Amino acid sequence: MRTSERVGRVPPSGIRRFFELAEERDDVISLGVGEPDFSAPWAARDAAIGSLERGRTSYTANRGMRELREAIARHCAERYDLAYDPAEEVLVTTGVSEGVDVALRALVDPGDRVAMVDPSYVSYKPGVLLADGEPLPVRTREEERFRLTYEALERAGAEEADLLILCYPNNPTGAVMHEEHLEPVAEFCREHDLRVLSDEIYADLTYEGEHVSIATLDGMRERTIVFNGFSKAYAMTGLRLGYALGPGEGIEAMNRIHQYSMLSAPTTAQHAALEALESCDDDVEEMVGAFNRRRRFVLSRFSEMGIDCFDAQGAFYVFPEVPGDDEAFAEGLLEEEGVAAVPGSVFGEAGEGHLRVSYASGLPQLKEAMNRLEAYVSSR
Amino acid sequence: MEPKRELLDALCANARTETADLARQTGLSEDEVERAIADLENEGTIRGYQAIVDWEAVDEDHARAAVELNVTLDRETGYAEVSDRLAKFPEVDSLHLVSGNYDFLMIVEAGSVRKISRFVSEKVAPVPEVTQTVTHFVMETYKEGGIEMNDGDDDDRLSVSP
């Protein structure tokens, strides 16, 4: 069958290849997972079950259930100082992935340049290509703790860009940006009239200091769409529920695509999400505490091994430097020690020479995996 | 989170975690971990360490029961005096004063159902303040001390995901 030229431009996922390699073995300890090892809080699951028992299986409003949008607006105002009108400025999406895709299609014209943090989440670049935009990776550096800087934007020629995709706390590096780091980026966006898509799905998984959204900085609200959701902090990856916050005209444009492609986000998941926001703060706190202990454990083990790894302060990843080619390193680690971790180059050129190590696994598995990693490093 | 709280969470998850690993998890030095644990023990926050055992795997006759107790009190005898007396029985694993339809909830362990029955009828019921006992034998244990007793679900997440 003839397929579109647009799809031909999208390369196959590098993660997919590693997934297939890892699946060939049954003794693998995985440090390659991008989702919590916890289950969604019981109250949220129970709300999902209850919604099914009551036969709530119809579509909801395109933008999402009104009560959910109101709860999201309250939550974001209280937690992140993001004030949005639930009627006009909130869109409930099928995961942040759909939100970003819809935003790119709504905001990008053919040939528009879209700057994005490199390294970052694997879907941004394909999303830009599918929206007929031109991806413009902006390299971040380990010596700057993988934070985006004004200078990095200049070096990449981002003044020519129309849009900037941010992802902090970052997948795959675990880097975070506090207000003092975001301000110069905001200045660049104001000076060069860039709109911003800010993926903040890992916001609750910020271990040192508070998460700050770029949309809260002066002059940024009107040019930013903020994305967040329930996958990471509430361990609801499979329920596929995210949301976008932004100025009315941006959200309306996104909704125009969303209403034809998705109609509305899954109803059952929306009921779970509403309950999660209303009653699951303690579950989140407990999970974040467990992640933080694992983060310290993993960072400390890398330090003991003499492997260079900056102190990632967010998400559930660390991003150590590895000797030589990262793909060869990761393949060898998988073959010789049965430990799966994703090569950094999968997330962009700036990730070369690194490994994405997820600590979303129990401490006993992490301990064993780090011992095996140490054995692998010392045998090379 | 406070370092002491972090330590307690880590110890509740596994009290046998090595000092070096506790230090890695909490960001404290090994000396600081040892000092903090000693403080927590000395001040009575940590009262002891126990194994959580699936006794049925070791001894199929092992029995456990939750016993509801009602008591009457007088001017000389309060809950403290009654609990003092009951808690001293070695068969009593835990004892709580509770709100609701009865006064004490007592968890009793013994080598057999018969032994528990005899203990309740011969030792507990005759305590002068005890007016009523209702014994519920534990038929199956699914969770104990925060630990699930089944073997857990396999991790069905994709081994590599975005």
Here the ipTM equals: 0.84
The distance of A44 to chain B (nearest Cα, Å) reads 19
- B24·A289 Cβ contact <8 A: no
- Greater confidence (A222 vs B53) lies with A222
State yes or no: pLDDT of B113 exceeds 70: yes
Across the interface, do B157 and A18 touch by the CB < 8 Å criterion? no
Q: Are B48 and B94 in contact (CB under 8 A)?
A: no
Mean pLDDT of B60-69: 95
Q: What is the pLDDT of residue B153?
A: 63
Q: B27 contacts in A (CB within 8 Å)?
A: 296, 300
- How far off is chain A from B159, nearest CA to CA, in Å? 6
Residue B25's Cα: distance from chain center in Å? 25
pLDDT band at B56 (very low <50, low <70, confident <90, very high): confident
What is the pLDDT, as a whole number, of residue A148?
A: 98
Element (H, E) at B48: none
Give residues with Cβ within 8 angstroms of A164, minimum separation 6. Answer: A114, A115, A116, A138, A153, A158, A185, A189, A194, A195, A196, A197
State how far the Cα of A72 lies from the Cα of A80, in Å rounded to an integer: 11
**Range 163-202 of A in CB contact (< 8 A) with B:** 171
- Looking at the predicted structure, is the pLDDT value of residue B1 above 80? no
B27: left (phi over 0), alpha (psi -120 to 50) or beta: left
Whether B151 has a pLDDT exceeding 90, the answer reads: no
Asked whether the beta carbons of A34 and A205 are under 8 A apart, the reply is: no
Q: What is the pLDDT, as a whole number, of residue B88?
A: 95
Per-residue pLDDT of chain A (380 residues; tens, 9 = 90+): 999 999 998 988 888 888 888 888 888 999 999 999 999 999 999 999 999 999 999 999 999 999 999 999 999 999 999 999 999 999 999 999 999 999 999 999 999 999 999 999 999 999 999 999 999 999 999 999 999 999 999 999 999 999 999 999 999 999 999 999 999 999 999 999 999 999 999 999 999 999 999 999 999 999 999 999 999 999 999 999 999 999 999 999 999 999 999 999 999 999 999 999 999 999 999 999 999 999 999 999 999 999 999 999 999 999 999 999 999 999 999 999 999 999 999 999 999 999 999 999 999 999 999 999 999 999 98
pTM of the entire predicted model: 0.91
How far is the C-alpha of A102 from the C-alpha of A92, rounded, in Å? 12
Inform me whether the C-beta atom of residue A34 falls under 8 Å from chain B C-beta atoms: yes
Chain B CA closest to residue A22:
B159
B157 in contact with A, Cβ within 8 Å = yes
The pLDDT of residue A309: 96
pLDDT of residue B40: 96
Q: What 3-state class would DSSP assign to A244?
A: strand
| Residue from the list A171, A297, A361 with its beta carbon closest to the beta carbon of B24 | A297
Q: If pLDDT is split at 50, 70 and 90, which confidence band does B20 have? A: very high
Q: A123, B24: Cβ pair inside 8 Å?
A: no
Cβ of B21 and A123 within 8 Å?
no
CA distance B58 to chain A (A): 25
Contact: A33, B159; criterion CB under 8 Å: yes
**B26 contact A CB<8A:** yes
Q: What is the pLDDT of residue A168?
A: 98
Q: Give the pLDDT score at A13.
A: 85
Q: Do B159 and A340 touch (CB under 8 A)?
A: yes
The verdict on A303 touching B (C-beta cutoff 8 Å) is: no
Please give, rounded to a whole number of angstroms, the shortest distance from the CA of A363 to a CA of chain B.
Answer: 9
Q: How open is the CA angle A132-A155-A161, to the nearest 5 degrees?
A: 30
Residues in Cβ contact with A84 at an 8 Å cutoff, skipping those fewer than 6 apart: A73, A76, A77, A90, A245, A246
**Which of A32, A297, A342 lies at the smallest CB-CB distance from B25?**
A297
Q: Is the peptide bond before B126 cis (omega within 30 degrees of 0)?
A: no
The end-to-end CA distance of chain A, in Å, is 47
Minimal Cα distance from A120: which residue of B? B162
Please state, in angstroms and rounded to a whole number, the distance separating the CA atoms of residues A258 and B32. 54
* 84-123 of B, contacting A, C-beta below 8 A: none
What pLDDT was estimated at residue B152? 63
Closest residue of chain A to B28, computed from CA coordinates: A296
For tokens 């397929």, what's the residue? A3
Edge-to-edge strand list for the sheet holding B63-71: B92-97, B104-110, B63-71, B130-137
Cα distance between residue A183 and residue B83, in whole Å: 62
